[in-house]
A and B are shown apart, each in its own frame.
Chain A
Amino acid sequence: MPRTRTPVVAGWFTEDAAEEDFRLLGTRCSGCRSVHFPREDGHCRNPGCPGGELEEVPLSKRGTVWSCTDGRYRPPPPYVSDPDAPWTPYTLVAVELAAERMVVLGQAAPGVGVADLPVGSVVEVVPGVLDEDRATGTVHTTWHWRPVPAKEGRS
């Protein structure tokens, strides 16, 4: 069956971009320059904002680890996992984006553990797969954070 690739949430990251061009998509207020992720399309949340338009903006490709943890037990629905398959823990990482002055959460790329993500180390956002529904042939895509080797580790 042909596979359909569908973002887990539409509009949160670039689709059909090459890995090096993949970005999270937020919105930026034209009035106060505040950035919102997940995207805020209705209103700027800065109470001192003079008012402006919210425009889509790609977030920084790289950031630094604010903290990380892992999920050793299967999360409840609506997280999708095969109840018949053994649970494979995954890593969650909170990433500080310097230009946006904010922290964004995400799963780490498969195989990346907490030991690979010391606080302050550099990571980059890459496309990833969240789950696959074999019955309908749907692949839900997402974003992952991946360590950047130290020699190129400048955010």
Chain B
Amino acid sequence: MTGDVAVLGAGMHPWGKWGRGFVTYGRIAARAALADAGIGWPEVRSVVGAQTVRGGYPGYVAGATFARALGWQGARVASVYAACASGAQAIDTARAQILAGLADVVLVVGADAAPKGFFAPAGGERPDDPDWLRFRVLGATNPAYFGLYARRRMALYGDTQEDFALVKVKNAAAGALNEYARYRSPVTAEEVAGSAMVADPLRLLDICATSDGAAALVMCSMEFARRRGVRDPVRIRGVSTVTPTFPRTVLDLPDIGTDSAVAVDPSPESFRASIARTAYEEAGVGPADLSLAEVYDLSTALELEWYEDIGLCGPGEGAKLLRSGATALGGRVPVNASGGLASFGEAVPAQAIAQVCELTRQLRGRAGQRQVPGARVGITANQGLFGHGSAVVAVR
């Protein structure tokens, strides 16, 4: 076991399309996290920013950008990027600094201002960039990959579009109770079925939107928390930022081809399953210990895959678990009690941090109508394109 670090404060800017820059959102989330922690900005000795590729240079140096926006005070700074997994890397960096004794209190911030519609690659003619190539050669948008995964599930496991719609219905019901969510109206299965087809078999309401949003955490050593009189803080006990193993045989964004398994047999464990397992092992807990989970539902169908990958059920049993009600609020192990990406839309560098904000609220027993009774252990799971794992286990 690596050792715990405490979450002293969590803060968010509501998700939506607000027409402002990512720095504004990030600063608001950071100040909310500091207020929640009850500490002043000058006490923070390190700032870790999750980068955005949509904000120009200030986005690449996000840590310094947020530090400047809060007012230079001499803290050390780092900026990390791992696509959708950027937030987990920021949390991991903060944790490493705390456990190494480099800083007692670290502020982690991620924020984005997203364009309307499909994410597109960076500009220019860049034929050496797989992300550029998949758009140029194939027009393969992110939803196209989600559509491929969804149809594969239908063929392998007999999942139906009705199963996928039920994920949206479940997450919309939870998101309606979350003041930080962008979409706060309940959605019916009929509304999902009536929405436009985007990437067959997935419809508009099966696919997460792109959003503005920001999330921040104040993390500290257990000793610092004790000195502040916080005797029973939410603790981060495991963080997974693993890469795949060769050969990776599942097509991942932005790949046009998988690795070849001619020379080496593929691992029986999928990359996504390895992400969760690594976090479980580090935390010394397993799927049976979970009170709740926040998983990356880029599409409704993908949420079902995560059920299997984080060990809530066996391969192919995701839809059955969903239909049992186990993963809804009030069920045995609610998944995406926050409302998930279905209710938030994706604000890439903020999203993995927002997942931990939800665990923090739940483990503190302050999630209001979304509260999972007696929540003690939660996991977040996420995957960033180009081979980035992301999972956090938090306990109380």
User: Which residues of B sit under 8 angstroms from A111, Cβ to Cβ?
Assistant: none
Cβ proximity bits A41-82 to B, threshold 8 Å, 1 near / 0 not? 000011111000000000000000011111111011111110
CA distance A76 to B210 in the complex (A): 15
A68 engages B151 (CB within 8 Å): yes
Contact B246 A66 (CB under 8 A): no
Complex CA gap A16/B45 in Å reads 63
Residue pair B251, A94 in contact (C-beta under 8 Å)? yes
Is the CB–CB distance between B251 and A90 below 8 Å?
no
Q: Which residue of B lies closest to A92 (CB)?
A: B144
Residues 18-54 of A at the B interface (beta carbon under 8 Å): 26, 29, 32-38, 45-49
Given contacts A36-B260, A114-B200, contact A76 B149 (CB under 8 A): no
Per-residue CB proximity of B290-332 to A under 8 Å, as 1/0?
A: 0000000000000000000000000000000000000000000
Contact-residue size bin, chain A (C-beta under 8 Å from the other chain): 35 or more
Residue of A nearest to B266 (CB): A101
Is residue B366 contacting chain A, with contact meaning CB distance below 8 A? Answer: no
CB distance from A90 to the nearest CB of B (A): 7
Q: Which residues of A contact B68 (CB under 8 A)?
A: none
Q: Is the beta-carbon distance between A75 and B263 smaller than 8 angstroms?
A: no
Indicate whether B135 reaches chain A with its CB closer than 8 angstroms.
yes
A45-B246 contact given A75-B139, A76-B120, A79-B136, CB 8 Å threshold: yes
- The reply to whether the CB of A137 lies closer than 8 angstroms to some CB of chain B is no
User: Could you say which of A29, A81, A103, A114 contacts B258, with CB atoms under 8 Å apart?
Assistant: A103
Chain A interface, DSSP helix/strand/loop, else mixed: loop
Contact: B152 with A119, CB < 8 Å? yes
Provided the pairs A37-B256, A45-B246, A67-B149 are in contact, do residues A72 and B137 lie with their beta carbons within 8 angstroms? no
Whether B56 sits at the interface, judged by CB under 8 Å, is: no
B148 at the binding interface (Cβ < 8 Å): yes
Chain B: residues with Cβ within 8 Å of the partner, total of: 48
Chain B: CB-nearest residue to A47: B246
- A69 near B263 with CB under 8 A, answer no
| Residues 80-106 of A contacting B (Cβ, < 8 Å) | 80-81, 90, 92, 94, 100-106
Contacts A67-B155, A105-B251; A78 near B136 (Cβ below 8 A): yes
Q: Is the CB of B197 within 8 A of A72?
A: yes
B261 to A73, Cβ gap below 8 A? no
Contact at A106–B138, with CB atoms within 8 Å?
yes
Partner of B251, one of A8, A32, A77, A103: A103
Write the chain B residue with the least CB distance to A120. Answer: B155
Q: Is the interface of B mostly helix, strand, loop or mixed?
A: loop
A129 at the interface (CB under 8 A from B): no
Docked Cα-Cα span, A72 to B170, in Å, equals: 26
What is the CA–CA distance of A80 and B135 in the complex, to the nearest angstrom? 9
**In the assembled complex, which residues on chain B have CB atoms less than 8 Å from the CB atom of A100?**
260, 262
Q: Determine if B259 and A48 form an interchain contact, defined as CB atoms under 8 angstroms apart.
A: no
CA distance A71 to B127 in the complex (A): 22
Is B198 engaged at the interface, CB distance under 8 Å to the other chain?
yes
**How does the 8 Å CB contact mask read for B185-228 relative to A, with 1 for contact and 0 for none?**
00000000000111111100000000000000000000000000
Q: Which residues of A contact B63 (CB under 8 A)?
A: none
B298 to chain A, nearest CB (A): 14
Is B58 positioned at the interface, with any CB of A under 8 Å from its CB? no
Answer yes or no: B19 CB below 8 A from chain A CBs: no
CA separation between A122 and B126, bound complex, in Å? Answer: 33
- Output the residue of A26, A35, A102 with the most chain B CB within 10 A: A102
Q: Give the 4 A-B CB pairs with smallest separation, nearest first.
A: A69-B147, A119-B155, A75-B139, A76-B120
A-to-B contact residues, CB < 8 Å: 8-9, 26, 29, 32-38, 45-49, 66-73, 75-81, 90, 92, 94, 100-107, 114, 118-120, 130, 142
